[in-house]
Amino acid sequence: MTQSELQELIRTGAAAPLLAGTEIGPTWYDGQWWHIPGDAPDDADYELADAELSAQFDSLRRRTRLLEG
């Protein structure tokens, strides 16, 4: 998925970034985590996070929700 496609999904509320205020970063969409690896080119597409990384993002999302609450 391209960056512009995912940003449009965020704009419409269909997708949610892990950290509010980030333009590029881990994003929850369609029941899965999407991200761009740190060593990828700046214009790289988003890719699905693997199980291990998804578990880390789940944990971080739980912590951010506590901070928002």
Partner 1 sequence: MPRDEEVVAIEQVMDLFATEALLALEKADRPAERLAEQWQRLGLDELQLSDSEAQQHLAAAVAGAPMDSSDLRREYRDSYGRSHVPPLADQWLDESLTRLARAGVLRDVVATGTKLKVSEPLRKAADDLVREGMQLLEGRRFLDHQQTAPLPGRKAQILGYATALTACTAYGTAVQSLSQPIPVQAVLLAPALVYLTARYRNLERDWMVGRHNQVTPAKDQLADARWDAADAVDAAAQPTRADTRVIRAARREAGPSR
State phi, psi for 8 to the nearest 5 degrees: -65, -40
For residue 39, the minimal CB distance to partner 1 (Å) is 8
Per CB under 8 A, the list member of 4, 31, 51, 63 interacting with partner 1 is 63
For residue 11, the minimal CB distance to partner 1 (Å) is 8
Structure tokens, 27: 């994003």
Q: Look at residues 11, 8, 28 and name the one whose alpha carbon lies nearest to residue 19.
A: 28
Q: How far apart are CA 5 and CA 51, in angstroms?
A: 23
The residues that touch partner 1, with contacts defined as CB under 8 A, are 11, 13, 16-26, 28, 35-40, 44, 53, 56-57, 59-60, 62-64, 66-68
